[in-house]
Amino acid sequence: MKKNFILGVGAQKAGTTWLYEYLKNSENTNFGPVKEWHIWDCKYNQSFSNFRVKKEDSKTNVVNNIRYLMQNEEGFYEKYFLSLLSKNIHITGDITPSYCCLDHIELINIKNKLSNAGFNIKVVFLMRDPVARCWSALRMIIKINKKYKNITNQEANDLFLNYYNSNGFILRTKYELIVKNLLKAFDENKIFFGFYENLFKYENISHISNFLEIKELYSLKNNVSNPSPTFTLNPDISKKCRVFYNDTYNFCNKKFPVTKKLWKEDE
């Protein structure tokens, strides 16, 4: 029986929720009850310790119980995903965007655990124009934080100035570092590098479907998932952010020439 494991490593606000919904609606797949398991981020990086399930919380619901066991019982992560497979189900996985913050040693450790369990690992890393990704991420923070309920457009822009160059945003947006770590850990033919800006075109849906070994579901191509609230980014602030991530733009323009067109700066 074929056992494919899809390891989605981000980027946050670059199409990972759409990817999960696309896979979930495909035949022969079972990802369990949640998209993001948050096992390896909180294991390796203290910044994500908020995702660690406390023992007293592990009995509150099924997901917390599974997550607690994955985080604390050696080998349970692999065993759980193996248990989701059957004669007709041969694709499972974990799509947690913050896994892009892991270094290559940590990624190799995950790869070895899954490979030793018999999985064929396929990695998906979706990117988005760095300024647009950061702006969307900031708007998501506003959306989920009650204290920003009545925030004005100007206040949102002021807040962005405090976030785009913060450590959490840098970890998720410096694609040059993420891509290098992925390529040190996995063979390039085992990685799908995609771009939010053209992900939903027919040819790219076909491309990612072939990589994932699933049938194309063109009916889902326009399903925009988890949208952030609408604000307008000040052009001068946008330019500051773009300059800050200049190395990222330059790297991607060279490694992925299509980004020269997709991430073109507004005149």
Question: Which CATH number characterizes residue 212's domain?
Answer: 3.40.50.300
Structural domain includes residue 34: yes
Mean pLDDT to the nearest integer, 245-254: 99
Per-residue confidence band for 267, with pLDDT thresholds at 50, 70 and 90: low
| Predicted confidence (pLDDT) at residue 250 exceeds the cutoff of 80 | yes
Structural domain includes residue 267: no
- Report the pLDDT value the prediction gives residue 230, as an integer from 0 to 100: 80
Mean pLDDT to the nearest integer, 83-101: 97
The per-residue pLDDT of the chain, averaged, comes to 95
| Predicted confidence (pLDDT) at residue 223 exceeds the cutoff of 70 | no
The domain in which residue 105 lies consists of 4-262
Report the percent of the chain where pLDDT is more than 90. Answer: 90
**Of 266, 245, 264, 258, the residue nearest 195 (C-alpha):** 258
| Predicted confidence (pLDDT) at residue 227 exceeds the cutoff of 70 | no
Q: What is the pTM of this model?
A: 0.95
Structural domain includes residue 44: yes
- Report the pLDDT value the prediction gives residue 95, as an integer from 0 to 100: 98
| Predicted confidence (pLDDT) at residue 94 exceeds the cutoff of 70 | yes
CA distance 72 to 147: 34
- Report the pLDDT value the prediction gives residue 222, as an integer from 0 to 100: 64
- Report the pLDDT value the prediction gives residue 218, as an integer from 0 to 100: 78
- Report the pLDDT value the prediction gives residue 149, as an integer from 0 to 100: 87
| Predicted confidence (pLDDT) at residue 158 exceeds the cutoff of 60 | yes
pLDDT in tens, 161-217: 999 999 999 999 999 999 999 999 999 999 999 999 999 999 999 999 999 999 998
| Predicted confidence (pLDDT) at residue 83 exceeds the cutoff of 70 | yes
Q: Which residues does 170 contact at the CB level (< 8 Å), separation at least 6?
A: none
What total number of domains does the chain contain?
1
More confident residue, 254 or 227: 254
| Predicted confidence (pLDDT) at residue 68 exceeds the cutoff of 60 | yes
| Predicted confidence (pLDDT) at residue 105 exceeds the cutoff of 80 | yes
Which residues, listed in sequence order, are joined to residue 8 by a DSSP beta bridge?
95, 124
pLDDT in tens, 12-54: 999 999 999 999 999 999 999 999 999 999 999 999 999 999 9
- Report the pLDDT value the prediction gives residue 221, as an integer from 0 to 100: 61
pLDDT in tens, 118-144: 999 999 999 999 999 999 999 999 999
